[in-house]
Amino acid sequence: MRHLLLVGAGHAHAQVLLEWARAPLAGVEVTVVSPGAFAPYSGMVPGWLAGVYRFDEIGIDFAALARAAGARFVAGEVVALDAARREVTLADGARLGYDVLSLNIGSTLRPPPIDGATVLPLRPLARLREGYDAVLAELATTDRPLAVTAVGGGAAGVESVLAVVARLRAQRPHRPIAARLVTRSADLLPGMAPGAARRVRAALGRAGVRIECGTAFDPATVAPGQLVLWASGAQAHAWPAASALACDTAGFVRIDHHLRSVSHPEVHAVGDCAAWVPPLPKAGVYAVRMGPILVHNLRAALGAGALRTYAPQHRYLALLATADGRAVAAWGRWSVEGAWAWRWKDRIDRRFVRRFTHAAGA
């Protein structure tokens, strides 16, 4: 019996389990490891922050999906990898061996401590709920003025500040809220269509969010009692770089065109935790597109078929919710916005999650 170990409850691993449920590979035992069984889908997180969705609507039950695939689910956090022994160690000291390993662990954020402020990092998503629920509960019974600062001018920073401000205003309409977005970048949404940045800038203006581009965040500008949404650049988890895996200077796992570690071909890595040359944006759409290639190549690594090559798309559709019943759509140099774009985004996101919910029998 060979052992396939999936570490992380990311979009690509959801696709692996979905395909395994449809066509399991004989003689292969599959184990999935993740700190939590419920994995939020990144595309729907802004809608949840804004109060459009319940939390149980925006994610995938990996424990149920694993059962449907005949796999074992282990609730635990990997803290070390011994590539020579083909073994991972969990936070509780348990060890799991593997013949083939796949990493879909995403990225993380490490905000600086800010005295007296409530800091919510937007990654990892699985830990965001507890912090946000606490904020909502604390602010549910007061009309005291509130200041919100978002750090990061990418999609996560823009969508989160719009969503959170909309939710807090709906919760207590008479509470004064001052909001700002701080980013080192010269403009919002670097790498996206200029028109998308203009449209998002207008949405932030309508919401009363002050924009500070080309500005380094200074913790001294945050007074006690303020809320900080930390959505700066993605950071790598520490343990892959501490192993023997080849990683880039930021700690992300270097992979080849078959999504395998360049130093240990029995290890695969996809999504935000992987380093591609040239670098890819840390966007969930890449993990989704890597999914089918990962499924095929994991089977090949286990003796069923030949490897396939992954070729990243040059352009991808970005749909950014503006928390006012509208969304901005961007594709290459093209962009547009409207209520129809929000309905389109909502339909795409719900359909994506529904694929896995139905497979898990939920």
pLDDT digits (tens, 9 = 90+) for 149-187: 999 999 999 999 999 999 999 999 999 999 999 999 999
pLDDT above 70 coverage of the chain, percent: 99
What are the start and end residues of each CATH 3.50.50.100 domain in the chain? 118-233+316-357
Q: Across the chain, what does the average pLDDT equal?
A: 95
Q: Which CATH fold would you assign to the domain 118-233+316-357?
A: FAD/NAD(P)-binding domain (3.50.50)
Q: Selecting from 3.90.1150.10, 3.40.50.12780, 3.50.50.60, 3.30.300.180, what CATH number does the domain 2-35+76-107+234-313 have? A: 3.50.50.60
298-318 in b/e burial notation, b at 16+ Cβ within 10 A?
A: bbebbeeeebbebeeeeebeb
What are the start and end residues of each CATH 3.50.50.60 domain in the chain? 2-35+76-107+234-313
> Nearest to residue 62, comparing CAs of 86, 81, 41?
41
CA atoms of 135 and 120, how far apart (whole Å): 9
Grade residue 124 by pLDDT with cuts at 50, 70 and 90. confident
State the pLDDT at residue 315.
Answer: 85
CA atoms of 52 and 55, how far apart (whole Å): 10
Quick check: helix, strand or coil at residue 160? helix
Grade residue 66 by pLDDT with cuts at 50, 70 and 90. very high
User: Is the pLDDT confidence value at 281 over 90?
Assistant: no
